[in-house]
Amino acid sequence: METDRRAVSWADRKRLASVLERNIRALDQRRQQDDAKAGFQDRLANAITRATGSMVFVYVHLLAFGIWIAVNIWNVFGIPAFDPSFTVLAMAASVEAIFLSTFVLITQNRMAAAAEKRAELDLQISLLAEHEITKLATMVAAIAERIGIDAHADPEVAEITQDVIPEAVLDEIEEPAKS
């Protein structure tokens, strides 16, 4: 008997795995489609953000700033000081910071839009699941009544057989914020 239960459990896990694989492939295809639709400017901003968000970028800057500072303080490599007050270095770093922060904001805006789409999908799936569960609860309660069990004796049964109205839930959530 125990062996049969394990076999069913394995079959369920295998079926679940195939559903998950299908869903993962579908979401990956959608992500690839969205990436393909992205314009040149978005792709450029993402590439710059990826490159500047790496340790290689940090190492290159450490090296460049280190050499700049060493040349202008200690005259290393036989190069005469060309920015002893570091005014040019400060200006270059400031301009670079302005552009990098802009690229990061562009990328964050795109990521926020994608997150908003995922949240909308999640909400729609949750509402659909809620509706389906309510229908199933109603059917189970009807079956229970049919075979002589008073399903509505439990107050929770009456509650779960009622459709959830999203607007009412939102109103309830927002009510404490208004007071």
pLDDT at 100 over 50: yes
Q: Which pLDDT tens digit goes with each residue over 18-49?
A: 888 888 899 899 989 988 998 999 899 989 99
Same domain assignment for residues 20 and 100: no
Same domain assignment for residues 20 and 45: no
Q: What is the pLDDT of residue 5?
A: 53
Same domain assignment for residues 18 and 86: no
Weakest-pLDDT range from 59-63, 118-122, 126-130, 162-166 = 162-166
The residue with tokens 């500047």 is 52
Helix extents (H) in the chain: 2-37, 40-52, 55-74, 87-146, 155-160, 166-178
- Structural domain including 158 reads 38-178
Q: Which pLDDT tens digit goes with each residue over 111-125?
A: 999 999 999 999 999
More confident residue, 165 or 177: 165
pTM surpassing 0.75?
Answer: no
Judge contact between 88 and 142, C-beta under 8 A. no
Judge contact between 65 and 75, C-beta under 8 A. no
Same domain assignment for residues 94 and 133: yes
Judge contact between 45 and 105, C-beta under 8 A. no
| Alpha-carbon span 166 to 51, nearest angstrom | 43
Same domain assignment for residues 43 and 17: no
